[in-house]
Each structure stands twice: as C-alpha cells, then as structure tokens.
C-alpha cells in the first residue's frame, strides 16, 4: 500500500462523508466495514474512511432518520449490523449530491478561470 | 422529532453502547481477516488492525456524543465520581465547603440587608422607576440645609408643579395605639389620601380614605389597618370594619385593611395603621397648621413623574415651585428686604431623588458604613475564593498523574474540564446551602446592630436567593478556572513517567499569585479594622459635657389629655418630686430638650451685636436647680440654676463656654444681659458659665451654642425629666416608670429611655465598622494563613527529594528551614506591599467615615504589617521545620526501590 491515502475527515468538505455513505448505501444494505471498503475500492484506494469518523457519521444519519440499522449475518456468517437507506435518506442523497456538484462546478470554474 | 429520537436513544443508552461495541469488534475482525487474506500473519494483522482502528475510546465517545446530550450524562457521572472522591478526603471537602459557606453566607446576609435598605423598591409600588422622593434645600449663610416638612409647602408643590401625575405626603411616627393595657407604641403611617394611588394594592377589606376625608383643616377620624395588625390584634375578623381604635389623641373608625405584604414605604418598620394627614395634624398641631409655615412635623413628599418627564426636568420644576412657595411664605411673614433678594439669597433647590431614603442625598451614616461593609464582604468572598482555588490547585497537582492517565486513555479534555467544573460547583453549592443558614443568623445580627427595633429580616426571599445562586455559580466557575488551566498544561509523558514524584520542585505560579492577593486583601481588612477601632476609641474619648451612662430620660405622652398651663407646670413639678424621692435616684431635673434628641432654639438679642444669628444657632434648655448635678455637666464660673431662681426673682441664665466666648470676647460674661425675642422680659442675666456639650454631632460643633434657663421662671409647657441613677440606670427604668405612671392623668403615659441609647445611635457606625472590620479582618488573616501553610507544606512535599539530597550532602536543618520559609515570607512581603499600596489609594475614600483619625496612620499600618508578617512566618516555619526533620536516608532509599 505505497499510495498515499486521503483520510476522509468530516470537515474535508462539509457533508462529503455523509454524501458518500448515503451514495454507497443507495446500492443496497451494507455494514460499517463494508461501507468503508466500498468507498476505498470505488475511489481506487484514494479515499480512506476512518472508523473514528465513520461510526459517528452513521449515528448521525440514524438520528436524522436517513438510514435504519438492523442486525444480520455477514458474508462469513458473523453477526453484523446492516444499514439501509430510507426514503428520507434517498431524498437527502439527491439534495446533497446536487449541492455537492454545484460546489464542485463552482470550484472548477474558479480553478479554470482565475 | 430529532429531540424525540434523541430521547429514545438516550433511554436505550445501555443497549446502544453494547451494540456499538459489538459493531466495532466486528469491524476489527473483518479488517484482520482481509489483511490475512492479503498475506499478513495473524499477529501482524491484529497489530495493523489495532493501529488502524486508532483510539477506540475516543471513537466510542465521539459516536455516543452524537446520540446523547453528552453533558447530561457527563454531569451525572461527574457528580457521582466527585461525591465519591470528596468523601475520600473529608478534611479537604469540609475545609472548602466551610470556606465557601463563610464567603457566600456573609455576602447573602449583606445583600439581603443592603437590598432592603437601598435597592428594593417598596412592595406593590406601581412603576417604581417613575416615582421620586422630593428633597428640598435652601441656603443660610452659605450652608445648604434641608427645608422642613410643612404641609403648606407640600400644598405649594402640588399647586405649582406640572411634571407630576400624582403627589402624596407621608410621614411615619411612633404613636400609642389602643387604650389601657393594650396600648402600645407602634409605627403609624400618616399619609395623604393620594398615597394609596401610588400602589397596586386594593384593600383586603373595606376601603382607603378619600381626599375629602383628608381635607384640611380637620379631616375625618378614619383609619386603615395594616394586614399584619389586623391578623395579630383582630384575628383577621371581617367585622373589624366600623369598629374604633384610638391612635394618639384621636379615636379613629376603621374603614379598611391593607392587602397582605403592603408596608407603604416602611419595609423595616411596617406601620400598624394608616391615618389621614389632615386628621393627625388637626389633633396635634395649631389650628392654622395647613396654611402657615410654622408647624413642621417631618412630613415628606413623593411624586410620580408624568410620562416623558425625566428627573432632571422634574427637579427643575420642583426648584421653581419652591421659589414660588418661598415668595408665598414671604407674603405671610413680614420682611424688610425685597422678596427677590431674599429668595435669591435662599438659593432654593428642589430634587426629584431616589424614593429610598438610604439611597438619596440624606442617607444615614449607618447606610454609608453599610455600603462599605458591602465592599468588605466582597473582599471576604474573594479571599474565600482564592483559598478554595488554592486548595483545588493543590489537589489538582496531587491528581496530575490520574488526570494525565485519563487523558491518555482517551477522555476528552472537554470532559475533564467539565468534571473539574462539576467538582467546584458541587462544593460551591454545598457551601452556599450552609452559607444561607449562616446568613439567616448573620442578617438578624446585622439588622439588630444597624436598625434596632426594626422588623427581623429573613434571607429567604427570592431576590436574596437569586443573588446567592448567582454568587455560587460565579465562585464555582471562578474557582474551577485555576485547576482547569492547570489541566490544560499537563504533559502526558512527564506526568505519567514520573508518577507524580518528580525530582524537581514544581512551583505553581497561580497559587503564589493567589497567596499574594490573599495577603493584600487581609492587609486591607486589618488596616480597616485598625482605623475603625481607633476611630471608635476617639469617639468614646469625646467629652460630651455630660454623663450619658447614668442618666434616664423621662418623656411625657399626653395623648388627648389637655391640661392648662398651670396644670402642666404642676404635673411636671409633681413628677420631679416623685422622682427625687425614688430610691436609687441621686438627682433629677426638669428638662425641655435632650441632646441628640432635638434641641430648641429661640432668637436672642445681645447689646452691641446686630444679629446673633450670624454666629450660628443658640439652643436652650429650661432646667431645675439639680440640672448640672444630674447631668454631670461642670459649671466653670459663677453658679448654676438655684432654688432661689423662681418666677418673681431676677431672670437668670447659665451659658455654655463657647457662647460666652463668641458673644462677649475678652469680657466677663457674668452679669451680662440677654433678651429673648419670644419672651419679652427685660433682661435675663448671665449668672454662670458651664462647659460645652455635644448635642448634634461628636465632631466640633462650631455653630451651635447652649444656654440654660430656670424652669421655674420660663415655665415651659413641654418636656420631661432627666433622672440620674445612683446605681445601674437600666434597672431603675421599670420601677421608676411605674411610680411616675401613677401620677399621670387619663390616657397619658410616660416613657423612659437611657440617654446612652441616643448616644449609641450616634456612635453606632463606628462600633459596627470596628466590629465588622475586625471580625472579617481576623477571618481573612486565618484564611490567608491556612492558605500559606498549605502551599508551603505542599512545596515541602514536592521538594522532599531535593531537600533530602541537600541534607545528605551536609546541609544543616536550619538552613533547610530558612530555604523553605523564606519562600513563604517572600510571598507575604509581596502581599503586604500590594495591600499597602491599595490601602493608601483607598484612604481618601474611607477618610470621611473615620473619626479624628488619619487613614494613613503609621501605627495602624505598622501593627498590621507586623502581625501579618508574624503570622506568615509561623505559617511557613511549621511546614518548613517538618520538612527538615525528614531522614534523607529513609527517603532516598525508599525512592530508589
């Protein structure tokens, strides 16, 4: 693992971590470890979700009612906690995604034209 | 919604925690397996996973923080652990709680007292911000004095002011209420009908009196009972309305009862009843009391400003009205000078001032001293806080290792700080509860000392409790500040590694600073104590010109008994004879005026002097032959009043030494003639010179002069007796009162007081100042000494290795003691220097409160500094000696192992 990892902090861009978690869960229920793995794989090992930010984020999402949690069996038959996106979470994902893209576009504009 | 979910989460706190733990365990396992799958050994995988997971405690706390109010949980846990740890060190806890109790208790008592006197608006007063008391002034010979409370003046103000929506007249008097056995002297409020309009206080029963019932010249005999009186004397019976009650000379019909809690303007001496001013004045004053400017009875005026009128405009309006009033008075009295000149010379000045007398320009010297004492109690609180902070710091230092460990284990600093705060607050609250008990006791002591006869003040009122709560919060937070700052500076590695046994001394600059401040504050209080004690001694050393201690004052309250002048003279003569024959009485005399009880002056004429008035006021007394023996006033030249000085003989007077000096400088006063303006006898001849007396203040009385006429010649219609007791004056009061009362006709009665009591009223500010400053000063000194002792003891404990090494290398015990003790002395010296500088700065503010005493008295400063340094020396020498007694062999060995 010689590549540099970007540790995702909640304040990297406001809401980025929540957005990634919600987006990852849009494909289907996952446990915490699965979410972290998925983000790492999809970002080709660039984004690394630290546990110390992942679990507080999940608690936050639970509290806000964007996800629900349920105990189930993992791939190797261990008890694991699976998170599922709710309807409210889906709506939130769309909203956050739009907002994120708006900001990224804005940043692009600045970078290209300044 | 979020709140509800949060509550639910909180409810399931335990289950949540277990779930989170399991989830994290799964996470770590999954990570480990992945690592093994990629080719790591199980051991490597475990280590890597653990590293990757980072600080699990911190993560767990962060996750929980999302679904908890962390502080709710935290505070509860902190409180529990604080109580546990406080119970482990009972001495420390008791010390801190007691210190807080003293600081908070003293302040709560003082607040309650000052609040009642100076801050709290009268109960049930409507819109207190718009209500003022009227203060009126005029100048005479360049000296401004208050204008007497005449009803006609009040009427003029009502007529000629435009700024006020309501104006009321009021005065409170001690009057005999009831008849026969039930008669008691009680405070009675004499008020205009408009008085009640100022309050939001509809009567509990019946009604208040109307303007018609309060109309001059006679008014109506109607009275309103106070709620307390109604309950106490009538058992709250509704049929009290319509019954009669004698107050003073008038039999009043009760028409109403005030609501509960209504005390008018007299919270300290709540009136028993309220009567119309016109009815009272008609019964006590001359027939033309309402229209002339001759009969003053201490009446005052209160006003409510119209909306939009500020007190400056209101004062200007009052000044203008007072000018017009003087003009009107001028047309009543004949005067040769033109009105304009006369009024300009009077410099009338009106002031719409604070309703509370003790806040206004006429506040008593007790109130001034009380204000200072308020400052003193704050200093005591500061010292208490400094001491507690110091103790907490010492405790914090001892707990460094524990705290460092907890931080290493992932406890957030925020949590740690909140725990320290909880500890302080818990201690402060315990102290405050104890303090309130103390305050209840202290405040009755304060009331009793400052306002004898006043209603007992309770500290259990909302304002005092709110104040106490605020103070508690502030001192709790303030004292925790030092340990918190200390905790933030912790160095993990060093504190854990050294195990709190660091070889080098760790001096706390914060504690040193606190000690210096404590020392300085103690010095301030002790200097204050010294100055007041010396003032009090100066006060007591004043030669009054009479012996107040053994003299009783007999006063007559005639009520409705009306005697003609011959009967009055006969009654007074009879009382004098009875008193003289009473066992235990050595001398007795008739008197007409009492020193410090209100003297009387008449204009006098002396040949060769156009106006004696320019010298000041000439006050007189009309006395019997035994007067000078009764009072113990020395006759310096000539003779006193004698038995031969009767109606038919030559009229004589004895003058005070100062009066003789000012009227006949360089001449022999004996045989001089003085004419009295009010009593046009040809000449009153001076037959003696008596020593000067104090009758208004204990300071020099440069504008007050005294002379004595023979009672048999002047035949005054008023006044009572002075009786000199051969033994204990107090014990003579009751038998003498009973004997004299037997001679009194009808409902009239006598009252007896010790003359010393009125002098005590005058010396009270200094007595209080001396007592309170001394008590608080000693308290402060003890607190500071304990603080110093604990700091030195702590330092000795910290430096025991260093000291042991020094002694192992051959240092003498004495030099070790010096080394340690010198540190304490250095702090004490800084404190003394700081306190001394502040004391000198404050000197000019405290000077007016002292009596013939410089605020920079080197003797006081010298003694106080000496005492402070001596106490500091003892407080640092004891732990230092103890430190030097350590056997280096034992200590160093124990450490090596």
Indicate yes or no: CB of A52 within 8 angstroms of CB of B1: no
Q: Give the pair of three-digit tokens for residue B55.
A: 């600080």
What is the C-alpha R_g of chain A? 15
- Is residue B702 very low, low, confident or very high in pLDDT (cuts 50, 70, 90)? confident
**Mean pLDDT score of chain B, rounded to an integer?**
83
Q: Give the pair of three-digit tokens for residue B806.
A: 């020094």
- Is residue B148 very low, low, confident or very high in pLDDT (cuts 50, 70, 90)? confident
- Specify the pLDDT at position B275: 95
Cα–Cα distances (Å) from B701 to B160, B616, B692, B704, B724, in that order, read: 38, 10, 9, 6, 25
- Which pLDDT tens digit goes with each residue over B540-586? 888 889 998 899 999 888 776 778 888 888 999 999 999 999 999 99
Considering only alpha carbons, which residue of chain A is nearest residue B33?
Answer: A76
- Which pLDDT tens digit goes with each residue over A71-94? 888 877 888 889 999 999 999 899
Distance CA B28, CA B49 (A): 6
Indicate yes or no: CB of B26 within 8 angstroms of CB of A52: no
Considering only alpha carbons, which residue of chain A is nearest residue B30?
Answer: A33
Chain A CB within 8 Å of residue B30 CB: yes
Q: Which residues from B are below 8 Å from A74, CB to CB?
A: 26, 30
- Burial letters for B588-619: b for 16+ Cβ neighbours within 10 Å, e otherwise? bbbbbbbbbeebeeeebebeeeeebeebbbbb
Q: What DSSP string runs through B196-249?
A: GGGB----SEE-PPPTGGG-TTT---EEEE-HHHHHHHHTT-GGGTT-EEEETT
- Specify the pLDDT at position B335: 54
Which is more confidently placed, B499 or B794?
B794
Which is more confidently placed, B196 or B366?
B196
Q: Which residues from B are below 8 Å from A62, CB to CB?
A: 67
Q: Give me the residues of B, 40-79, that contact A with CB < 8 A.
A: 52-55, 58-59, 62-67
What is the C-alpha R_g of chain B? 37
Cis peptide leading into B618, omega within 30 of 0?
Answer: no
Q: Which residues from B are below 8 Å from A52, CB to CB?
A: 54-55, 58-59, 62
Q: How many CB pairs under 8 A join A and B?
A: 65
- Which pLDDT tens digit goes with each residue over A4-28? 445 554 445 656 888 889 999 988 8
The yes-or-no verdict on residue B256 having pLDDT over 50 is yes
Considering only alpha carbons, which residue of chain B is nearest residue A82?
Answer: B23
- Specify the pLDDT at position B504: 42
Strands B617-623 and B652-656: unpaired
Cβ neighbours around B753 below 10 Å, total:
15
Indicate yes or no: CB of A32 within 8 angstroms of CB of B29: no
Distance CA B646, CA B640 (A): 13
CA trace torsion B735, B738, B744, B748 (10° rounding): 120
Chain B CB within 8 Å of residue A64 CB: yes
Cα atoms found within 13 Å of the Cα of residue B208, Cβ hemisphere only: 22
Which is more confidently placed, A66 or B332?
A66
Residues B620/B607, Cβ–Cβ less than 8 Å: no
Distance CA B17, CA A112 (A): 49
Residues B644/B625, Cβ–Cβ less than 8 Å: no
- Specify the pLDDT at position B513: 85
- Is residue B209 very low, low, confident or very high in pLDDT (cuts 50, 70, 90)? very high
CA trace torsion B856, B857, B861, B866 (10° rounding): 160
Average pLDDT over every residue of B610-621: 84
Q: Which of A1, A55, A69, A86 to mutate to test the interface with B (most CBs of B within 10 A)?
A: A55
Lowest mean pLDDT among A30-34, B251-255, B502-506: B502-506
- Which pLDDT tens digit goes with each residue over B88-124? 877 778 888 888 888 888 888 888 878 877 778 888 8
Nearest to A78 among B26, B53, B66 (CB): B26
The yes-or-no verdict on residue B596 having pLDDT over 90 is no
The yes-or-no verdict on residue B500 having pLDDT over 50 is no
Q: Which residues from B are below 8 Å from A76, CB to CB?
A: 33
- Specify the pLDDT at position B100: 86
- Which pLDDT tens digit goes with each residue over B386-414? 888 877 877 776 677 777 777 777 677 77
- Specify the pLDDT at position B453: 55
Nearest to B67 among A50, A59, A76 (CB): A59
Indicate yes or no: CB of A51 within 8 angstroms of CB of B62: no
Considering only alpha carbons, which residue of chain A is nearest residue B25?
Answer: A80
Kindly state the percentage of chain B with pLDDT values over 90: 25
The yes-or-no verdict on residue A29 having pLDDT over 50 is yes
Residue B282: alpha-carbon gap to chain centroid: 38
Looking at B491-632, list the stretches that DSSP marks H as alpha helix, in order from N- to C-terminal side: 492-498, 509-541, 565-581, 627-631
Residues B341/B117, Cβ–Cβ less than 8 Å: no
The yes-or-no verdict on residue B462 having pLDDT over 80 is yes
Rama region for B500: left / alpha / beta (φ>0; ψ in -120 to 50; rest): left
Helix, strand, coil percentages for chain B (3-state, nearest 5): 55, 15, 30
- Specify the pLDDT at position B806: 83
Q: Which residues from A are below 8 Å from B67, CB to CB?
A: 59, 62-63
CA trace torsion B167, B168, B169, B173 (10° rounding): -150
Chain B CB within 8 Å of residue A76 CB: yes
Nearest-CA distance A58 → chain B (Å):
8
Nearest-CA distance B416 → chain A (Å):
20
The yes-or-no verdict on residue A3 having pLDDT over 50 is no
Which is more confidently placed, B582 or B703?
B582
- Specify the pLDDT at position B181: 58
- Is residue B680 very low, low, confident or very high in pLDDT (cuts 50, 70, 90)? low
Question: B133: part of which helix (H) or strand (E)?
Answer: strand B131-140
Indicate yes or no: CB of B5 within 8 angstroms of CB of A55: no
- Specify the pLDDT at position B452: 59
* Max CA separation in chain A (angstroms): 54
Sequence-distant (6+) residues with CB within 8 A of B93 are B86, B87, B427
Distance CA B860, CA B852 (A): 14
Q: Give the pair of three-digit tokens for residue B726.
A: 């051969």
The yes-or-no verdict on residue B258 having pLDDT over 90 is yes
Distance CA B527, CA B831 (A): 13
- Which pLDDT tens digit goes with each residue over B784-817? 787 778 777 777 777 777 888 888 888 888 888 8
- Specify the pLDDT at position B628: 94
Average pLDDT over every residue of B69-77: 65
- Which pLDDT tens digit goes with each residue over B829-885? 999 999 999 999 988 888 888 888 899 999 999 999 999 999 889 888 888 888 777
Which is more confidently placed, B314 or B786?
B314
Residue B381: alpha-carbon gap to chain centroid: 16
Chain A CB within 8 Å of residue B890 CB: no
Distance CA B837, CA B513 (A): 16
The yes-or-no verdict on residue B384 having pLDDT over 80 is yes
- Specify the pLDDT at position B858: 93
Q: Give me the residues of A, 3-42, that contact B with CB < 8 A.
A: 31-33, 36-37
- Which pLDDT tens digit goes with each residue over B24-64? 888 888 888 888 888 888 888 888 777 766 666 766 766 66
């Amino acid at each position: 693992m010689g590549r540099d990892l970007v540790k995702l902090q909640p304040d990297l861009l406001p809401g980025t971590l929540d957005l990634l978690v919600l987006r990852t869960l849009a494909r289907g229920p996952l446990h915490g470890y699965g979410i972290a793995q998925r983000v790492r794989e999809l970002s080709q090992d660039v984004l690394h979700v630290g546990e110390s930010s992942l679990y507080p984020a999940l608690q936050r999402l639970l509290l806000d009612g964007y996800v629900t949690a349920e105990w189930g069996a993992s791939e190797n038959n261990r008890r694991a906690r699976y998170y599922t996106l709710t309807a409210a979470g889906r709506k939130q994902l769309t909203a956050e995604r739009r907002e994120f893209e708006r900001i990224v576009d804005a940043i692009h504009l600045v970078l290209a034209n300044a | 919604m979020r709140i509800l979910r949060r509550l639910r989460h909180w409810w399931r706190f335990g289950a949540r925690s277990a779930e989170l733990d399991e989830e994290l365990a799964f996470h770590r396992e999954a990570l480990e397996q992945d690592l093994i799958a990629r080719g790591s050994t199980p051991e490597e995988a475990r280590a890597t996973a653990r590293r990757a997971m980072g600080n699990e405690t911190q993560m767990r706390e962060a996750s929980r923080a999302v679904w908890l109010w962390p502080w709710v949980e935290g505070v509860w846990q902190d409180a529990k652990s604080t109580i546990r740890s406080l119970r482990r060190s009972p001495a420390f806890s008791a010390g801190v709680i007691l210190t807080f109790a003293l600081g908070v208790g003293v302040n709560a008592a003082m607040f309650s007292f000052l609040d009642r006197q100076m801050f709290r608006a009268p109960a049930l007063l409507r819109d207190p911000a718009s209500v003022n008391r009227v203060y009126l002034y005029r100048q005479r010979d360049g000296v401004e004095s208050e204008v007497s409370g005449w009803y006609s003046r009040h009427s003029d103000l009502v007529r000629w002011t435009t700024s006020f929506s309501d104006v009321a007249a009021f005065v409170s008097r001690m009057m005999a209420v009831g008849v026969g056995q039930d008669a008691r002297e009680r405070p009675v409020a004499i008020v205009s009908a408009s008085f009640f309009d100022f309050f939001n206080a509809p009567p509990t029963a019946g009604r208040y009196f109307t303007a018609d019932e309060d109309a001059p010249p006679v008014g109506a005999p109607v009275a309103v009972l106070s709620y307390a009186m109604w309950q106490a004397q009538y058992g709250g019976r509704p049929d009290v309305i319509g019954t009669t009650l004698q107050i003073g000379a008038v039999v009043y019909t009760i028409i109403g009862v005030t609501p509960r809690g209504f005390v008018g303007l007299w919270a300290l001496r709540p009136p028993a009843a309220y009567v119309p001013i016109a009815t009272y004045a008609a019964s006590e004053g001359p027939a033309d009391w309402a229209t002339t400017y001759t009969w003053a009875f201490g009446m005052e005026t209160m006003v409510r400003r119209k909306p939009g009128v500020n007190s400056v405009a209101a004062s200007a309006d009052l000044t203008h009205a007072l000018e017009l009033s003087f003009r009107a008075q001028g047309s009543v009295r004949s005067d040769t000078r033109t009105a304009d000149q006369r009024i300009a010379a009077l410099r009338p000045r009106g002031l719409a001032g604070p309703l509370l007398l003790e806040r206004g320009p006429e506040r008593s010297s007790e109130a001034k001293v009380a204000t200072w004492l308020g400052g003193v109690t704050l200093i005591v609180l500061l010292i208490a806080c400094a001491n507690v902070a110091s103790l907490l710091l010492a405790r914090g230092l001892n707990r460094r290792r524990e705290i460092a460990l907890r931080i290493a284990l992932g406890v957030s600093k925020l949590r740690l700080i909140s725990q320290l705060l909880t500890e302080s607050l818990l201690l402060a609250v315990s102290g405050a509860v104890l303090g309130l008990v103390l305050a209840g006791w202290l405040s009755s002591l304060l009331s009793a000392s400052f306002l004898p006869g006043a209603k007992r003040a309770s500290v259990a009122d909302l304002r005092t409790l709110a104040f106490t709560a605020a103070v508690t919060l502030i001192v709790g937070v303030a004292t925790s500040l030092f340990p918190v700052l200390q905790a933030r500076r912790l160095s993990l590695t060093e504190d854990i590694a050294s195990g709190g046994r660091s070889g080098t001394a760790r001096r706390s600059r914060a504690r040193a600073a606190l000690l210096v401040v404590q020392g300085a504050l103690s010095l301030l209080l002790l200097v204050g104590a010294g100055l007041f004690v010396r003032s009090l001694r100066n006060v007591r050393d004043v030669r009054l010109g009479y012996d107040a201690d053994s003299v009783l004052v007999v006063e007559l309250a005639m009520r409705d008994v009306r005697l003609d002048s011959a009967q009055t003279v006969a009654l007074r003569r009879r009382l004098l004879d009875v008193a003289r024959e009473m066992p235990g009485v050595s001398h007795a005399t008739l008197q007409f005026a009492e020193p410090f009880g209100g003297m009387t002056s008449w204009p006098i004429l002396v040949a060769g002097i156009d106006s004696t008035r320019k010298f000041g006021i000439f006050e007189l007394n009309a006395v019997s032959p035994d007067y000078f023996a009764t009072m113990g006033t020395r006759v310096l030249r000539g003779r006193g009043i004698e038995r031969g000085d009767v109606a038919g003989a030559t009229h004589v007077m004895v003058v005070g030494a100062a009066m003789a000096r000012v009227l006949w400088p360089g001449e022999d006063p004996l045989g001089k003639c003085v004419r009295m303006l009010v009593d046009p006898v040809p000449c009153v001849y001076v037959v003696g010179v008596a020593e000067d007396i104090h009758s208004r203040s204990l300071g020099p009385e440069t504008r007050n002069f005294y002379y004595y006429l023979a009672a048999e010649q002047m035949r005054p219609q008023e006044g009572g007796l002075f009786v000199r007791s051969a033994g204990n004056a107090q014990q003579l009061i009751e038998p003498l009162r009973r004997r004299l009362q037997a001679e009194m006709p009808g409902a009239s009665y006598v009252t007896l007081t010790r003359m010393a009591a009125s002098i005590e009223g005058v010396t009270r500010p200094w007595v209080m100042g001396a007592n309170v400053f001394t008590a608080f000063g000693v308290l402060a000194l003890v607190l500071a000494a304990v603080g110093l002792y604990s700091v030195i003891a702590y330092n000795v404990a910290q430096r025991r290795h260093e000291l042991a090494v020094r002694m192992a290398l051959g240092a003498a015990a004495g030099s070790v003691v010096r080394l340690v003790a010198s540190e304490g002395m250095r702090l004490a010296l800084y404190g003394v220097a700081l306190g001394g500088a502040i004391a000198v700065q404050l000197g000019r503010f405290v000077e007016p409160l002292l009596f013939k005493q410089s605020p920079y008295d080197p003797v006081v400063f010298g003694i106080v500094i000496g005492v402070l340094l001596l106490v500091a020396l003892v407080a640092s020498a004891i732990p230092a000696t103890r430190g030097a007694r350590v056997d280096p062999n034992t200590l160093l060995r124990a450490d090596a192992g």
